[in-house]
Amino acid sequence: MTAANNSAQPRVLVVEDDENMRLSVTVELTANDLAVTGVSSLAAAERALSAGSFECAVFDRMLGDEDSVDFVHLRRKAGWSVPVLFLTARDTLTDRVAGFEHGGDDYLVKPFAMAEMTARVLVLCRRAGAGRPAVLRYADLEMDCARKQVHRGGALLTLSDKEFAVLEMLLAEPEQAMSRAKLIEHCWDASTDPLSNVVDVAVKRLRRKLGEPELIHAVRGVGYRLAR
């Protein structure tokens, strides 16, 4: 796995089993101020998506015997919303339509110009940044992201900055397991020990403030998820 990590940069996952192509795409995107994680298989992509969040994902269509369209389709059905660009040598109309119908946001046929690929990725990253609603809701919980206000059952809650950040991450992907590593990456600074218990402490306080019925549930070996 190759990675360029800078929390201020849009993050892009590149899934490509051709090492030279993966390196070329990574170098090009990194040169355009994007933080790139490159992997060679869908299994590695699954691990990367569980460990961190991305503004865009770039998938080679065929990875060995696997079609990444099926992988994206299953994640879309589970509520995954990260914009996806498919890179592929499959250039028939049927192939392109299948890519869009199964969750792709854009489709670029090989061989392609790196400048065009980069432009398309940047557009998808901007779309992801603008895509989160100003108000997040789940059950009787409501978060106004702009005003930094949280209500449950109509009652205003007083949360610390870290508690608000953790709850915002969980609300953005309700009913999806969120790893402790991903929560630390987004809610704490880079000096925080990924093995510390800061997430568990924040969740304990959140649970107390949110009251009953409990909405934040532990996912064994992973982290937490927001669910009824």
Out of 3-12, 149-158, 164-173, 189-198, which region has the weakest mean confidence (pLDDT)?
3-12
Mean per-residue pLDDT of the chain? 86
Q: Which residues does 69 contact at the CB level (< 8 Å), separation at least 6?
A: 61, 86, 98, 99, 102, 103, 104
| Share in percent of the chain as helix, strand, coil (round to 5) | 40, 25, 35
pLDDT in tens, 40-81: 999 999 888 877 778 899 999 888 878 899 999 988 887 788
* pLDDT score recorded for residue 181: 85
Out of 2-11, 92-101, 136-145, 214-223, which region has the weakest mean confidence (pLDDT)?
2-11
pLDDT-based confidence at residue 7 (cuts at 50, 70, 90)? very low
> Contact, 89 vs 47, CB < 8 A?
no
* pLDDT score recorded for residue 101: 85
pLDDT in tens, 101-115: 888 889 888 888 999
Percent of the chain residues topping a pLDDT of 70:
92
Mean per-residue pLDDT, 146-160: 89
Mean per-residue pLDDT, 81-99: 85
- The structural domains of the chain, with segments of one domain joined by +, span 2-131, 135-226
Rounded Cα distance between 61 and 109, Å, is 10
Rounded Cα distance between 32 and 210, Å, is 42
Percent of the chain residues topping a pLDDT of 90:
43
Residue 169 has pLDDT above 60, yes or no: yes
Rounded Cα distance between 75 and 225, Å, is 16
Q: What are phi and psi of 159, to 5 degrees?
A: -120, 150
Residue 10 has pLDDT above 60, yes or no: yes
CATH class of residue range 135-226: mainly alpha
Tell which wins on pLDDT, 181 or 156.
Answer: 156
Rounded Cα distance between 148 and 42, Å, is 37
* pLDDT score recorded for residue 190: 61
Q: Which residues does 207 contact at the CB level (< 8 Å), separation at least 6?
A: 214, 216
Look up residue 225 and give its two tokens. Answer: 């998820």
CATH architecture of 2-131: 3-Layer(aba) Sandwich (3.40)
